[in-house]
Amino acid sequence: MNKSFKIYVYPHKRSDPFARSLLPEDFEPHGNYASESYFKKSLFKSHFITNDPKEADFFFLPFSITGLRNDRRVSVSGIPNFIRDYIFDVSHKYPYWNRTGGADHFYVACHSVGRSAMDKSSEAKSSIVQVVCSSSYFLTGYISHKDAALPQIWPRKDEPPNLASSKRTRLAFFAGAMNSPTRQALIQVWGKDSEIFAYSGRLKTPYADELLRSKFCLHVKGFEVNTARVGDSIFYGCVPVIIANYYDLPFGDILNWKSFSVVVTTSDIPRLKEILKGINDEHYGFEELRFDFHYWISDDEQLIFGKVLVLNICV
């Protein structure tokens, strides 16, 4: 499957008025939604790409939701119109969309505004594969058996710091805005605890120091189910604790998340300390995890990032 699986990308030229949102970026991806750009850059340089659409198993719609959001000609409110018109053009210029109604097509979105991208393309929304960071099957726009979850990462060039679990003095750590009932419940229960450091708002101390000091780092659902906190945890060697209901975890068909993280629901918050203290250090192989997941970025690792996700789509 790895060698035979092929993807056709609808072509665009540098002279296209929206080339910046349709072609891979020339510069290094950055910011909170870099996963979207890394995926596209990885895919374009991978062996999955074919220039012959007759060979293709899947078709990639290369528009960037983040790019469109930042384009003043489109902006957030205009994204659904842009996507509607783009699909109309593709379906009339090429025969491939109409053969399946878009069921063998996919697009990528890491920004939360991607959830409304298909609002004016309702038929397409029910068939197209959405590869998104906001992969909550509680939301009406995400269909877990059809769509795929993309991990949200913050780009890093440095080697990850190495600090043994035995040298971490704090049981668990979280800091962030109180923008969800889940986070509010966490602070209410553990906000004054001496072993679980749960902080409301922005820290006065460096965020990285707190991650390195803690054995477990809490990924708590906020306004969206996804944040880059899981990537932060893995980079700093801190066991991710995912507290969220209805979260379709990235690469869930490939990775056994429970083998290297703690996955609980919001109802487990009162028992959180009991759960974490009951976990042995030997249970988690973090050096192996950090090697496999490649959260520090190089050219080769960008390629791996894209390949793994593509395989996840076609499982």
Tens of pLDDT, residue by residue over 107-117, are 998 877 777 88
pLDDT band at 296 (very low <50, low <70, confident <90, very high): very low
Least confident of 12-26, 46-60, 130-144, 226-240: 130-144
Residues 140 and 172 in one domain: no
pLDDT digits (tens, 9 = 90+) for 121-171: 888 888 999 998 877 766 667 777 888 888 888 777 777 777 666 688 999
The DSSP result for 237-256, as a single string, is T-EEEEE-SSB--TTTTT--
Residues 6+ away with beta carbon under 8 Å from 172: 195, 196, 197, 198, 214, 215, 216, 217, 218, 241, 272, 273, 276
Residue 259 backbone phi and psi in degrees, to 5 = -85, -15
pLDDT digits (tens, 9 = 90+) for 51-92: 999 999 999 999 999 889 989 999 999 999 999 999 999 999
pLDDT band at 294 (very low <50, low <70, confident <90, very high): very low
- Token pair of 185 as six digits: 């419940």
Q: Which of 313, 311, 297 is nearest to 38 (CA)?
A: 297
Distance between CA atoms of residues 246 and 158, nearest Å: 33
Residue 149 backbone phi and psi in degrees, to 5 = -95, 130
- CATH assignment of the domain containing 219: 3.40.50.2000
Cβ contact 296:157 at 8 Å: yes
Distance between CA atoms of residues 48 and 40, nearest Å: 12
Residues 6+ away with beta carbon under 8 Å from 286: 234, 237, 239, 260
Tell me if 160 is assigned to some domain.
no
Query: Which residue in this structure is represented by tokens 């028992």?
Result: 271
Distance between CA atoms of residues 310 and 48, nearest Å: 9
Residues 203 and 81 in one domain: no
- List the alpha helices (DSSP H) in 159-252: 181-190, 207-213, 229-235
Least confident of 25-29, 48-52, 147-151, 214-218: 25-29
Tell me if 1 is assigned to some domain.
no
| % of the chain beyond a pLDDT of 70 | 85
Tell me if 254 is assigned to some domain.
yes
Residues 139 and 193 in one domain: no
Q: How many domains does the chain have?
A: 2
Tell me if 214 is assigned to some domain.
yes
Burial tier of 21 (Cβ tally within 10 Å: 0-12, 13-18, 19+): buried
Distance between CA atoms of residues 84 and 125, nearest Å: 10
The answer, yes or no, to whether residue 293 has pLDDT greater than 70, is: no
Mean pLDDT for all residues in the chain: 83
Tell me if 112 is assigned to some domain.
yes
Residues 140 and 207 in one domain: no
pLDDT at residue 102, rounded to an integer: 94
The DSSP result for 4-40, as a single string, is T--EEEPP--TTSTTHHHHS--SSPP-STTHHHHHHH
What mean pLDDT is predicted for residues 214-242? 85
Residues 11 and 138 in one domain: yes
- Token pair of 265 as six digits: 């629901």
Residues 6+ away with beta carbon under 8 Å from 50: 6, 7, 8, 56
Cβ contact 120:141 at 8 Å: no
Give the domain extent around 144.
Answer: 7-155+297-313
Residues 6+ away with beta carbon under 8 Å from 209: none
CA angle 273, 177, 74 (to 5 degrees): 135
Tell me if 2 is assigned to some domain.
no
pTM: 0.84
- Chain mean position to CA 187: 25
